[in-house]
Amino acid sequence: MKITYVYADSAEEWNCSEWRCAIPARAINRLRNHSAQLLDIQSFAQNTPQAQEICAASDLIIVQRNLFGPVLTAIQRWKARDKVLLVDFDDAYPLMPPEGKNYSFWVEGKTLRQVPGREPVWETLDPHPLTQFKWGLRLAHAAMVPSARLAEDWRAYQDIHLLPNFIELERYSRVGIHSHEGVIIGWGGSLSHLHSFTESGLLAALQRVCNARRQVKIMICGDPRVYDQIAIPNEQKLFQAWVPASEWPRVLSCFDIGLAPLSGPYDDRRSWIKVLEYMVMKIPWVASDSPAYNDLRPYGWLVQNTTGAWERVLLDMVDHIGDHKSEAARDPYLYGISQNIDENIEKVLSLYSTIAVKALGEHTQIARL
């Protein structure tokens, strides 16, 4: 089977495309009789010579999230040539909170248009991006998401399949233990997570924990707005700017306790990535009691979004950090490594094949691969 992943992330925001496109592509290319390529969505939309060559040789084309404008035309073009077209997305775009990086685009339907010699101006898109997204879903043969809630949301528009984010374990296993004094409580995330802190009760809990336990430090990675919101002494705060995916496990190794706050319907549709990473790094973790983490409930702490609940669990973890680390190295770690992409890639390919057979019929060439 020959698969092309049409990725949507730019180099500056590279994250979702790593998990949903690059990681499975590398795993597929480690197998015999299967191959995968990555193609940027601009080239796909513009039908460049490179895109024509790659897509013509593909059995399946998986398009990531940006279902609007010329991407819709490209989907139609390759569908007419008997290619299996799948869509992959991992966010609840209609539910995006106002502080989300792409709120103006997905919810308000606006984009900044560059005007030569002048400041960029806001332009209202017609049709609205969400309308075009729904058109794109209907054009495809099927879609894949990493969240059960997200799958339920969109089943009226397409055949939606739940496909979790699997982890590339080898990257994490190369990292050694980071030696430091005290207890570091850590979190890393993008610009779409600020409300997860402000609405969950965690901010006030971190302040109380730091006041009660002076050996505790809070490490925030990625979004400086979260760092700025935590009102604790500077000597108890650490900030790590964004790093490439290849360097992230090294940063994670600094954490003694991992945080995963979520709040509201948008967050309930996130994937399990953050907690899964803690588990393969043997980091004890505490997260909001959200549907996003239901499957991981036996392997850590899920708490109600109140300041008191966060505070009680975090103080217990700080005071008994040795016990919690020992526990994290047992069943949580074993479950985490069972989600390695190489152990699960045949399941992914089986899903692709099932969709292809349904789309093109039992007697197509792809059905025999």
Whether 269 has a pLDDT exceeding 70, the answer reads yes
Which CATH fold topology does 171-338 show? Rossmann fold (3.40.50)
The predicted structure's pLDDT at residue 366: 54
Question: Among candidates 12, 13, 34, which has minimal Cα distance to 24?
Answer: 34
The predicted structure's pLDDT at residue 254: 96
Question: Among candidates 2, 355, 363, 4, which has minimal Cα distance to 158?
Answer: 355
Whether 363 has a pLDDT exceeding 50, the answer reads no
CATH placement of domain 2-166+340-368? 3.40.50.2000
- Contact by Cβ (8 Å): 276, 165: yes
The predicted structure's pLDDT at residue 192: 67
Q: What confidence tens digit (pLDDT) does each residue in 237-247 have?
A: 999 998 888 89
The predicted structure's pLDDT at residue 165: 97
What does the alpha-carbon distance between residue 60 and residue 78 come to, in Å, rounded to a whole number?
A: 10
The predicted structure's pLDDT at residue 332: 98
What tokens does 91 get? Answer: 């966010």
The predicted structure's pLDDT at residue 368: 42
Q: What is the mean pLDDT of residues 94-110?
A: 91
Q: Where in the chain is the domain with CATH 3.40.50.2000?
A: 2-166+340-368, 171-338
Q: What is the mean pLDDT of residues 303-330?
A: 98
Confidence of residue 179 (pLDDT cuts 50, 70, 90): confident
Q: What confidence tens digit (pLDDT) does each residue in 58-99 have?
A: 999 999 999 999 999 999 999 999 999 999 999 999 999 888
SS3 state at 240: strand
SS3 state at 110: strand
The predicted structure's pLDDT at residue 70: 97
- Bond into 116 cis (ω within 30): no
The predicted structure's pLDDT at residue 134: 97
SS3 state at 237: strand
Question: How wide is the angle at C-alpha 353 spanned by C-alphas 349 and 354, nearest 5°?
Answer: 115
Q: What is the mean pLDDT of residues 104-133?
A: 91
Calculate what percentage of the chain has a pLDDT beyond 90.
Answer: 83
The predicted structure's pLDDT at residue 191: 66
Q: What confidence tens digit (pLDDT) does each residue in 216-236 have?
A: 999 999 888 899 999 999 999
